[in-house]
């Protein structure tokens, strides 16, 4: 016999109602969700952002591949600069670099 699973907990958040249409049997409501604070960057993301900011000031206008190439060449130097114990974290891949740059709002 299958076990019954509990439904996920309800996310209790306060929202602002913008518009409400209750003329039909099913009411329609437009709401405005509160802004969520951005997550803090992980150490690897901070390292990637630090490397790219030293090379490019402001927003990144080159391709992710070019940024990744530069990050790969100076990754060990950044690990030494931060005095990380060996073995150092592996060199990040393309998706990790892109995610870190988006989190820091350096690319779209």
| Average pLDDT, consecutive stretches of 10 residues, N- to C-terminus, the chain (108 residues) | 72 77 85 81 94 90 93 95 92 94 87
**13 domain residue, yes or no:** no
Find tokens 């992710």 and name the residue: 64
**71 domain residue, yes or no:** yes
Angstrom CA distances, 44 to 20, 56, 69, 88, 97, stand at 45, 18, 16, 11, 9
**5 domain residue, yes or no:** no
- pLDDT score for 58: 81
Structure tokens, 22: 């209750």
- φ and ψ at residue 45, rounded to 5 degrees: -65, -40
**81 domain residue, yes or no:** yes
* Extended strands (E) in the chain: 16-21, 28-32
Domain of residue 51, residue span: 43-103
Classified as helix, coil or strand, 30 is strand
pTM of the entire structure? 0.66
Angstrom CA distances, 97 to 40, 55, 60, 91, stand at 16, 14, 12, 10
**64 domain residue, yes or no:** yes
- pLDDT score for 24: 84
Number of domains present in the structure of the chain: 1
- pLDDT score for 72: 95
């Amino acid at each position: 016999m299958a076990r019954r699973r509990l439904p996920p907990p309800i996310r209790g958040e306060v929202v602002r109602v913008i518009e409400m249409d209750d003329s039909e049997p099913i009411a329609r409501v437009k709401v405005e969700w509160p802004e969520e604070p951005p997550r803090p960057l992980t150490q690897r993301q901070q390292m990637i952002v630090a490397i790219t900011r030293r090379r490019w000031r402001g927003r990144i206008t080159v391709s992710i591949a070019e940024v990744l190439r530069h990050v790969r060449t100076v990754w060990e130097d950044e690990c030494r600069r931060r005095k990380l114990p060996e073995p150092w974290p592996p060199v990040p891949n393309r998706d990790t670099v892109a995610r870190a740059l988006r989190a820091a709002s350096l690319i779209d």
